[in-house]
Amino acid sequence: MSSEPINKEFYQKELFWSWAVRNERLFSHQPYLLRQGDGCFVIGFRGVSRHITCHFSSVGQIEVAVHYRKIFFDIIEEFDLFEDKTPAGCWVCTLCRDHPHPDKTEPLIEYKNRHELWIEHSFAPLATWTRKSFTRNARLCLGRDGGITWARIFPEDKLNESMKNQGYFKTLPVLTSR
């Protein structure tokens, strides 16, 4: 663990926007700012359903969330990063270091700088996820079972799987325009 305090300003906010502008082609649909507050900002993606948003917090949470009729339904993907600087001066994600996924076989990645950590660990995977998830045949499926809600993106040819889920009640297109 680093003995130097990490600058807890909203470092990743400025970095995300400067990186996203320079790397617009990596996203299937261009991100845009919906709203911001103290320690958070929310983006949408041009041509993608307004029900799907991505929330960034200054502590490192990056969550793709679904809201329907002003009700939070689910987090459908996460790109969280809780940073730490090692005694050797490298940067790591403490989630990956301290709580690795049981199926993960690759070693912990130590990044040479903070900039690289955020881009390679969270921003680039978010862009990749948009290319995989925001497709013409993608559908946003919603469900409710008692007080529990869920949301998932399914390809159109897998909708029958979604409809078998408990509480399924709605299918919406993921894309609204090109």
* Average pLDDT over the chain, rounded to an integer: 91
Q: Which pLDDT score is estimated for 101?
A: 75
Q: Which pLDDT score is estimated for 8?
A: 57
Q: How many CB atoms lie within 10 A of CB 8?
A: 9
CB 24 within 8 A of CB 30: yes
Q: Which pLDDT score is estimated for 105?
A: 73
Q: Which pLDDT score is estimated for 177?
A: 73
**Cα–chain-centroid distance for residue 88?**
29
User: Which segments in the chain show pLDDT lower than 50?
Assistant: 1-6
User: In a 10 Å sphere around its CB, with 0-12 CB exposed, 13-18 middle and 19+ buried, how is residue 147 labelled?
Assistant: exposed
Q: Which pLDDT score is estimated for 2?
A: 42
CA 9 – CA 106 distance, rounded (Å): 31
Q: Which of 60, 34, 43, 49 is nearest to 122 (CA)?
A: 60
Which tokens go with 39?
């320690």
